[in-house]
Amino acid sequence: AQSVTQPDIHITVSEGASLELRCNYSYGATPYLFWYVQSPGQGLQLLLKYFSGDTLVQGIKGFEAEFKRSQSSFNLRKPSVHWSDAAEYFCAYFGNEKLTFGTGTRLTIIP
Amino acid sequence: EPEVTQTPSHQVTQMGQEVILRCVPISNHLYFYWYRQILGQKVEFLVSFYNNEISEKSEIFDDQFSVERPDGSNFTLKIRSTKLEDSAMYFCATNSGTYTAYEQYFGPGTRLTVT
């Protein structure tokens, strides 16, 4: 079955440290992949997307993600996190006319 | 920047009552979606809507749910007889139907509380 998996439920990093959030997908064709961020009580904001082409995509707020077909992964990275990055992060793919989301990773930032 | 809006932001209703959640899509967008997120869980697809008809729906979207675009601008989700388990955040999303059709823009959500 088609799915997207975020293996880390909760990650804590220090402000200024680097970040990598993992996402794995299971989908037959080339997936259309997304990362969304959700701050507490807020809606979903699109961080970045991958459709085709360059496998390293840049997004807003200094985030980037790399599509690796061989590993079925689309991990989100940021070189230096800020306290304002604390939020829930969702990986998703578009297929069969809908977005399918992972279970999310909650990011906590400590001083 | 154009954005999707939703009303109300919070709706409290009693079990068995009907609720209508409203969304105003971005003006030139053609595809419309409803998703829901039960507290602490992932975002789940409910229904997609294009050209005034449902194009895809999930198993969650049973006969208690309906969608329509009554006036060409608003996009509504109706729950006929709410249950406790309908308590969730409901998100509307839209996309333009062009090359970036897969890129969905989400509204801020309506928190539905069924008591």
Q: What is the pLDDT of residues B26-77, one digit of tens each?
A: 888 889 999 999 988 889 999 999 888 999 999 999 999 999 998 878 999 9
Q: Please, what sign has the CA dihedral across residues B53, B81, B6, B37?
A: negative
pLDDT at B34: 97
CA distances from residue A38 to A33, A52, A69, A106 in whole angstroms, order as listed? 17, 25, 26, 9
Q: B39 to chain A: nearest residue by CA? A: A41
CB contacts of A94 in chain B (<8 Å) are 102, 104
| pLDDT band of B82, cuts 50, 70, 90 | very high
> 3-class SS at B99?
helix
In angstroms, rounded to a whole number, what is the distance separating the alpha carbons of residues B42 and B33? 16
Q: Which two tokens stand for residue A21?
A: 């959030």
Chain B residues interacting with chain A (CB cutoff of 8 angstroms)? 33, 35, 41-45, 48, 55-56, 58, 91, 93, 102-109
CB contacts of B108 in chain A (<8 Å) are 42-43
Q: A102 to chain B: nearest residue by CA? A: B42
CB contacts of A45 in chain B (<8 Å) are 106
Q: A6 to chain B: nearest residue by CA? A: B42
Give me the helices (H) in A21-111, please.
Answer: none
In angstroms, rounded to a whole number, what is the distance separating the alpha carbons of residues A68 and B14? 48
pLDDT at B100: 57
Average pLDDT, chain B: 91
| pLDDT band of B99, cuts 50, 70, 90 | low
